[in-house]
Amino acid sequence: MTIALLTRTLAPADFGTVAVATAVLPLCYLLADMGFSTYIVQVSQLSSKTLSTAFWFSSAAGVVLTGALALSAPLIASMFRVPDSVPVIWGIALAIIFVTFSTVPTAIMKRQMKFKRLAAQSLTASVMGQGVAVLLALLNFGVWALVAQTVLYQFVFALLVWIGARWRPTVSFSRREFRTMASFGAKVVGVDLIAAIRTWAENAILVAALGVSGLGYVNVAQRLVAVAQDVTAAAVMPVSTVVFAQVREDAARLRSGYLRGLGICCAVIVPVMVFFAAAAPDLVPLLFGDQWGPSIVPSQLLAVAGIFTLGAALDHALFYGVGRPGTWLFYGAAIDSLTVVAAFLSAPFGPVAWATSFLGVAVMATIIRWPLVGSLTETPWQTIGSIFVRAGLTGALAAGAGFAASGATSGQSNWVSVLAIGMSVVIAYFVAMQLFMRDESREMIRLLRTNIPIPRNRVQVRSTQA
């Protein structure tokens, strides 16, 4: 709802400017964290000295990186050719301090499986951030509404997670623990660093080819799809690394847990993405306004790609949970490099061409992962691929019903079309699941009854390939 209000109040250039500023944040986060939070979540034995060492390093690095980002803002703005982003980068740099202060207590709560509490804290912070953003937008503060949303969210979440973790660092720093964590974390940082560079490169390519407004159209399409991911199967992601770490010594349980998780993710995310793809021509103007028409087709293509990128997120959690970040590093480097090349070749032809290339890479990356995951879980790659094939057949039938409803309600109000498409997709999908995904259907219903918590919101919303 908030993004609908903001897109009707702010200009595409505002979203593009913030996208430039937030593209820098992941790099600062990963350099401050050094992969230590992932180490905390998956390590078998955890000591107070380890936690304190991770906290003091991340906190000090966060302060230093905040200052460095502020000083380098003019250079970053020059690189992206968006001079108006300099003060925006200065303002949004404050988020780094709050994020780095909260990484260790957040990792502790994840390790303790306190995801419902994290979800409640995230929701509280999100509501406060969004409320302030809408107020500032209505008061004509422009791009600063988006800056305030990001910074306030991180501040409130950091405050709440410190209260919820009930942990306080000791005045100690162990070089031995630091070296152990750094050895593991270097590979994690490598993955995230490559992803951050890819984000930078994509944004620079899009700005150069389409201008800052073009980047704004793409950014809104990405936000729409990311919201759908966050409230559906992405709820499985926070717990995945912890669960895989707990069962990694038992090959049968690891294999069973992965296949079950993949099936659930596909079963939950496919109908949502099919709905977004079919309803986008009515949904985008209904939520955001007619000025966001260029975001319609990219959002449809990204919705389809979202099915595959969510699978990448689960595989990401698998490799980290079993202590194999190095393998994922090599995979991520190859796929992210391919994504940048595809963006360079396609962006000059417009947002639709770029989104098409992104979808193509997402499909290719998924197929490449099947034998990698199969080797790790001792599962034939055909078994993993069959889940996507069955999900694809189910989604295709639901998509047919959705687009048929869209055609039948042509000329009606956007509300009527969206409701008709939604009902058609849901009915057709559940019927199709009885043909192709019966086991996943039962598991999805069982999970809905147990009330899976909603995951923490992301500071920067980007579709990811790896």
Is the CB of residue 70 less than 8 Å from the CB of residue 90?
Answer: yes
As a whole number of angstroms, the distance between CA 16 and CA 12 comes to 6
Q: What's residue 456's pLDDT?
A: 40
Q: What's residue 231's pLDDT?
A: 61
As a whole number of angstroms, the distance between CA 212 and CA 88 comes to 14
Mean pLDDT, the chain cut into blocks of 10 residues (466 residues total) = 66 73 76 82 82 90 88 82 81 87 88 81 87 84 84 92 89 86 82 82 88 83 74 59 80 88 85 91 84 88 87 84 83 92 93 93 93 91 92 92 91 89 93 87 67 41 46
Please state, in angstroms and as integers, the Cα–Cα distance from residue 355 to each residue in 62, 199, 232, 268, following that order.
34, 14, 22, 23
As a whole number of angstroms, the distance between CA 434 and CA 430 comes to 7
Q: What's residue 398's pLDDT?
A: 94
Q: What is the DSSP letter of 454?
A: P
pTM surpassing 0.85?
no
Please state, in angstroms and as integers, the Cα–Cα distance from residue 71 to each residue in 32, 89, 91, 159, 466, following that order.
17, 10, 12, 27, 31
- Look up residue 302 and give its amino acid: L
Is the CB of residue 152 less than 8 Å from the CB of residue 94?
Answer: no
Q: What's residue 236's pLDDT?
A: 57
